Amino acid sequence: MRSSSSLVGRDLLSVADLSADEVRRIYATAATLKAEFRATRRHAVLPLPGRTLAMLFQKPSLRTRVTFEAGMAQLGGHAVYLTSDAVLGARESVRDVARNLERVVDAIMVRTGPHEVAVELAAQADVPVVNGLTLREHPCQALADVFTIQERFGRLDGLVLAFVGDGNNVYHSLALLGAALGMEVRLAHPPGYAPNDRIVTRARELAAGSGGRLVFGHDPSAVVRGASVVYTDAWTSMGQEAETEERRDAFAGYRVDDALLDAAAPDVVAMHCLPAHRGEEITSAVMDGPRSLIWEQSENRLHVQKGLLVELLGGGAPA
């Protein structure tokens, strides 16, 4: 993780772009904004009046679109929604899209497949570029998730998060962020579904400096033992539809249900980045039960992304 005196004008392509102190700064701003919004459903002083965010979507979304668009409106700004039919290689090159947008908007959020698309946008545009999802990482999701965990437990150091399922983009970002903040991040995955080696290497470097730890295994019951957070994601992500049946077979023993939670710590909570396939990777009894933190983490996408946008664009959070 890098260090800087200010986040203004910065890109966010990976959670590893942020220092631990910068994450805490975003969280402090998000907490202030959340408290005011929860109390009044508005902000008395708008931190980003007249500012504009371009949102480029090559992947469908519910939470990413609504939380960024609503968030900009609540901060006094505006969001422009653009689909892949209009931009990013369909009609214009990524380079040309970046050079056009930087002249008329204050920031760009991109939700795409290849991570290289987000990297090229950031290289070509002179305004902040935020990764709203790529196949490699999902940094905004991880930021919101870890914020939610900190809210629930009041700490992160030494806390155990067990991810049950695929070593995918969500796991990558959780591993990087959790390791940097002193958490123990575990992964229970079927053989052949391990995370990216470079991500694991980087996460271990971050863990070495924070007291964090990475743990891997194939037995979900063993991996969740002592975990305060059990996290899961869909077995088949966007773009993997051809592998659906193969993945259902491979992940059949990796469902998060009440029995699996009972094997974890007494204070365990369940998390899921959504959308969920009820009855596959998670049961409805867990999702809707007393140990679910899923809806709080979904809401926190709004508050943490607002905190991020205020820091990147130099707005002032309400006092």
Q: What angle do CA 190, 285, 146 make, to 5 degrees?
A: 65
- What's the full length of the chain, in residues? 319
For residues 48 and 72, the answer to whether their CB atoms sit within 8 Å is yes
272 residue type, one letter: H
Q: List active site positions.
A: 111, 138, 141, 233, 273, 301
Query: What is the chain's Cα-based Rg?
Result: 19
The encoded tokens of residue 16 equal 């590893």
DSSP 182: T
Task: Compute φ and ψ for 20, nearest 5 degrees.
Answer: -60, -40
Contact residues for 270 (Cβ-Cβ < 8 A; gap 6+): 229, 230, 231, 232, 256, 261, 282, 286, 287, 289, 291, 292, 293, 294
